[in-house]
Structure 1
Amino acid sequence: MKSVYNATDLPAKELYEVFSTNGTLTNLVQEDNGKTPAQRFRSEDGVANARGRILGGSSMINIGFCSRAEDKFYRESGIPWDKDLVQKAYQWVEETIVFQYNLSIWLSILKQALLEAAVGPDNGFNLNHIVGTKAIGSTFYEKGRRHGALELLNRGELKNLQVAVEASVEGIIFSNSLPSKDQVSCTFLYGNLSSLTAIGVIYSDSKGRTHQAFVRNKGEVILSAGAIGSRQLLLLSGVGSVPDLSSLQIPVVHHNPYVGKFMADNPCNNINIVVPFALDPSVVQAVGITSEFNYVETLSYNLPFSFPIYFGLFPNAISPLNTSLATIAVKIQGPLSSGSLRLTSFSGVRAGPIVRFNNFNNPIDLARCVKGVRKDGDVLKTEALEPFKTRDLQGRESFMFLGPSLPKNQPNESESTLCARGLNLIIIEAFPQLSFSFV
């Protein structure tokens, strides 16, 4: 892309109309060495996580599930949405990075199993959020190539666009007046938010050099660092709770006690079926949406002999041989439980914040999870999945699981055991539909 530059090649100070940063593309399963696209951390409540650390964000490391928001989101957001513009925005994105192609064998069978398990009606291919079973869009092309959000840059006005890679934004520059071309410093104000203006950002390149990027008149600083990174940048820039910022000796720009609060993610529970025959890999392209606020998603993949196992994707001490697996995941939609994010120090963005999600703190979330996991059990009882059972030495047929399976006597299992036991999520920002967990 002609508009992409290494941050070390850019001047120490320059005016920009638009500015963004990210990293370089590698592979999701690589161990985190500080430069890989997936930045790993563990939440305060013990949940393993991964954040996108690459140009295109987490759209470059997730499983490519693409579905539009539900109508309830717009009604309850408190924002006066222009529905026509929303529709055009969806189409603009979908024309570039969202694809439809024929379902694989596993996805077709699982779609039939969902319908047998009363997750209906069959909605065919549909990008809208609608109760029932449907095929969805994917950011993977039919030949397996990923098309992440970075490709949307190609649809912009490239003459007005510069993208710096291998760079990290360290903070937002605030002032009560717009900068002139020769401005060399910024003013931090502690007062009314209406008197503050975001006029630029401070960022560093891979050689440790500091840069300042300012917007021109009527320009805007768009903060799009994800659910975790955006909050972290606001706090590091002095927007947050006065007691919290002062305790870390961060100059206060504006007091807002809600920055870092209400952190939530969609917990989900997975089962991994060991398939008794070779199965082609597939990404999430079929989904069941129930009326009980749950999604049922699935994908299939092969594990070669030397496959490296990282960040809780599979249980500890398990090293599968060349095996085909089919994963069925139940995810809670719009959890009511929430936690918080706070800084550990004023040492910059590379010092990850402390995050807590408090999954299942709200009993309604736990009740929804129980219904979702039991729907998983209904799916396993369908005729469509009979060919995926394995025959044991006594000739009995049953499913073989990699890791934990569903409880055999679901009605007698406590809710906490059924859903919260062994919770280990992988959180993929921007596409929360694609997070994973095991029970």
Structure 2
Amino acid sequence: MEHSLATFLLLLILISIEFISSHAIPNQDISYMKFVHNANDQPIQEKYDYIVIGGGTTGCPLATTLSSKFSVLLLERGSDPNTYPFVLNEETLSYVFILEDDGQNPIQRFVSEDGVENIRGRVLGGGSMVNAGFYSRGHREFFETAGVDWEMELVEKAYEWVEETLVSRPNLSAWQVAFRNTLLEGGVVPDNGFDLRHLMGTKTGGSIFDNKGNRHGAVELLNKANPKNLKVVIQATVQRIIFNGLSAVGVLYSDSKGKLHTALIHKKGEILLSAGAIGSPQLLLLSGIGPKSYLSSLKLHVVHHQPHVGQFMTDNPRFSRSIVFPFQLLASSAQVVGTLEKNIHLQSLASPLPFYPLPSYGLLPPQSTSITPSLVVFVGKFSNVSSKGWLHLNNSSTDSKESPIVRFNYYSQHDDLSRCVRGVRKVEDLLKTQTMERFKTQDLEGNKGFQFMGLPMPENLWNDSSVEEYCKNTVATYWHYHGGCLVGKVVDDNYKVIGIKNLRVVDGSTFSDSPGTNPMATLMMLGRYVGLKVLQQRSS
């Protein structure tokens, strides 16, 4: 119950956020729509040099990069974001959370076996079209432990390629200024000012929202594509990958009417799976790549025994503290981050919390207006999660539209609890700063304090077991889940599926850690980076 309340409070904040940033990027450029097509209108069979499955945060820059020299088909199960204009502006973002999941809207809901509510992007542009827009590059340890021999100069160029099109520097709202001062006063130093890099201390990060609150997600990277070489097909649900022996040769996808289409690759071509940490392992399993005994038990044809597909699933648990102020604050999304040792990240959001008095039958004067207190939430996560889970197919259905069964095993490893305990204690320290003192209210007896919402904090914060129990009782997602197709387990250091020709997985399912405060920047970088590496390898 407690994690549901925490999620509700966070989404309530998103409802009324108004984003402000300093230098403008023009309103969304939808030039890419010239080569976006509906799956219903596509031929029964086509052939391309490259097929990218998943038009999300990684798939869009990947397909764009490959199109510079080769023909590319990009398949996306969702619609284009213009169909749902509320995802294009920060003020109306929360609508995606309150809509019923009709199988078409931009977010697909699921509940893990842990009982924690979660979401998946289902729209061209993926998670970058439904998130809070905070942009920050990955941390050093991510690159050191990813199992990839990175060309760091190419990594830098790939980040810059993304940033020149999508990223703005935000003007801090009044609450974000106060939160920044709170972090610094609370010892989260140094003060790094504005920076897109991952840094210890306090900093203002980038945003993919412009000064009018318009979103510039990964979908706009398609505008950099060669329009003669790229076809984007939406409402195209890939059912499985087609193999000839141990070589991937094409994909079978269905349109919104259930009609099947086949897309094949030319000689020397490849299929690149970018369906995300849920979709990519699911599609590999449905296509016959996974544990032999498990696939056989589901009567699925086994193409290749791969015991690690769907394993090592990880989600970054969110801890939070919610406070009601008896006065109005302007809405504010997360623009500032404080990063502690062990990559513990702290952010905060604020929102007006309108209150409308119920009919009073003469108790209140006619035309009584509402009062507007505010809700402030301190939120935290840690990048390096030790607890690992798994993903299985839904035994009742082998339809890729159905969400698979996922368990993340939150806090099953004590290291994670220790990080949560440290983060919770730091939040409590921040609430004792002089900056926060002026936000306290006084009761009739003269006692000053905060009005908290949610499960009360343990009385003794230095009792580890009490705080650990608090962490477990309030667990919620930060929506940064990853794993299922790890480098060194399922794919090699070039993201090629081990034991299979012409098939790569390029997305967050290959991550063993979540890069930095928010993985979005690194996911877009990865699409560009791998695309450039594929072009290099093919030319040589």
Q: TM-score range by the shorter chain?
A: 0.7 to 0.9
1:424 alignment counterpart: 476
What is the correspondence of 1:276-425 to structure 2 with a 5 Å cutoff?
Answer: 276-304=326-354, 322-345=372-395, 346-412=397-463, 414=465, 415-425=467-477
Q: Which amino acid aligns with 2:160?
A: Q
1:21 alignment counterpart: 76
- The Cα of 1:99 is off from its aligned counterpart by 1.1
2:233 alignment counterpart: 164
- CA distances 1:215-264 after superposition (whole Å, capped 9, x unpaired): 22322211111111111010001100001100111101110000000000
Query: Could you list the runs of 5+ residues in structure 1 that have no partner in the other structure?
Result: 176-188, 190-195, 307-319
- The Cα of 1:388 is off from its aligned counterpart by 2.4
- The Cα of 1:322 is off from its aligned counterpart by 4.9
- CA distances 1:307-337 after superposition (whole Å, capped 9, x unpaired): xxxxxxxxxxxxx985422211111221011
Supply the distance in 1 between the matched residues of 2:150 and 2:44 (Cα, whole angstroms). Answer: 39
- Higher mean alpha-carbon deviation, 257-266 vs 30-39, is at 30-39
2:35 alignment counterpart: 3
What is the correspondence of 1:142-157 to structure 2 with a 5 Å cutoff?
Answer: 142-157=211-226
Supply the distance in 1 between the matched residues of 2:77 and 2:332 (Cα, whole angstroms). Answer: 28
Q: Which amino acid aligns with 1:10?
A: Q
Query: Could you list the runs of 5+ residues in structure 2 that have no partner in the other structure?
Result: 1-32, 49-70, 85-94, 357-369, 482-507, 509-513, 520-540
1:112 alignment partner, one of 165, 169, 181: 181
Aligned-residue Cα RMSD (Å) equals 2.1
What is the correspondence of 1:250-261 to structure 2 with a 5 Å cutoff?
Answer: 250-261=300-311
- The Cα of 1:13 is off from its aligned counterpart by 1.2
- The Cα of 1:301 is off from its aligned counterpart by 2.5
Distance 1:303 1:166, change over 3 A: farther
Q: Which amino acid aligns with 1:28?
A: V
1:225 alignment partner, one of 275, 293, 305: 275
- Higher mean alpha-carbon deviation, 230-239 vs 144-153, is at 144-153
- The Cα of 1:207 is off from its aligned counterpart by 1.0
Is 1:77 matched up with 2:161? Answer: no
SS at match of 2:327: coil
Supply the distance in 2 between the matched residues of 1:285 and 1:200 (Cα, whole angstroms). Answer: 43
Is 1:12 matched up with 2:62? Answer: no
- The Cα of 1:36 is off from its aligned counterpart by 1.7
1:40 alignment partner, one of 101, 109, 117: 109
- The Cα of 1:162 is off from its aligned counterpart by 1.0
TM-score by length of 2: 0.71
Supply the distance in 1 between the matched residues of 2:442 and 2:214 (Cα, whole angstroms). Answer: 36
Distance 1:78 1:424, change over 3 A: closer
Supply the distance in 1 between the matched residues of 2:443 and 2:518 (Cα, whole angstroms). Answer: 33
Supply the distance in 1 between the matched residues of 2:476 and 2:310 (Cα, whole angstroms). Answer: 22
Q: Could you tell me whether the CA contact under 8 Å between 1:271 and 1:405 is conserved in 2?
A: no
Supply the distance in 2 between the matched residues of 1:119 and 1:156 (Cα, whole angstroms). Answer: 42
1:131 alignment counterpart: 200
Q: Could you tell me whether the CA contact under 8 Å between 2:333 and 2:350 is conserved in 1?
A: yes
Q: Which amino acid aligns with 1:133?
A: T
TM-score by length of 1: 0.87
Greater share of residues in helix: 2
Supply the distance in 2 between the matched residues of 1:28 and 1:350 (Cα, whole angstroms). Answer: 19
Supply the distance in 2 between the matched residues of 1:91 and 1:210 (Cα, whole angstroms). Answer: 39
Distance 1:22 1:393, change over 3 A: farther
Q: Which amino acid aligns with 1:284?
A: A
Distance 1:394 1:35, change over 3 A: farther
Identity %: 48
- The Cα of 1:117 is off from its aligned counterpart by 1.0
SS at match of 2:273: coil
